[in-house]
Amino acid sequence: MTASRSPDPLHGVTLERLLTQLVEVYGWAELGRRVRIRCFQQDPSVASSLKFLRRTPWARAKVEGLYLEWLREGGVDSTL
């Protein structure tokens, strides 16, 4: 029997892992330029950004969109 995979590329990817990968790829400065939210631009940290993204659906959607764009462009999700 084969295991079925979800067609959703975000399935099984935690917000923390997603954010950490984007920071590794783009760095905080570029991430703040691409997704214009203050927690990426002023004294950024993973902890403060996660707190904000979990409370702010529109910001989380933008970050998830950037992650999906990165995957489409050939980014490799090491969790898969």
Please name each of the domains of the chain with its CATH number.
25-72 (1.10.720.30)
Q: How many CB atoms lie within 10 A of CB 10?
A: 14
| CA triple 3-66-74, angle to 5 deg | 60
Weakest mean pLDDT among 20-29, 49-58, 59-68, 69-78: 69-78
Q: According to the model, what pLDDT value does residue 80 have?
A: 44
Q: What is the DSSP letter of 35?
A: S
Q: According to the model, what pLDDT value does residue 3 have?
A: 56
For residue range 51-68, list pLDDT tens digits in order.
Answer: 999 999 999 999 999 999
Q: What's the chain's Rg over C-alpha atoms?
A: 13
Mean pLDDT of 1-12: 71
State yes or no: pLDDT of 5 exceeds 80.
Answer: no
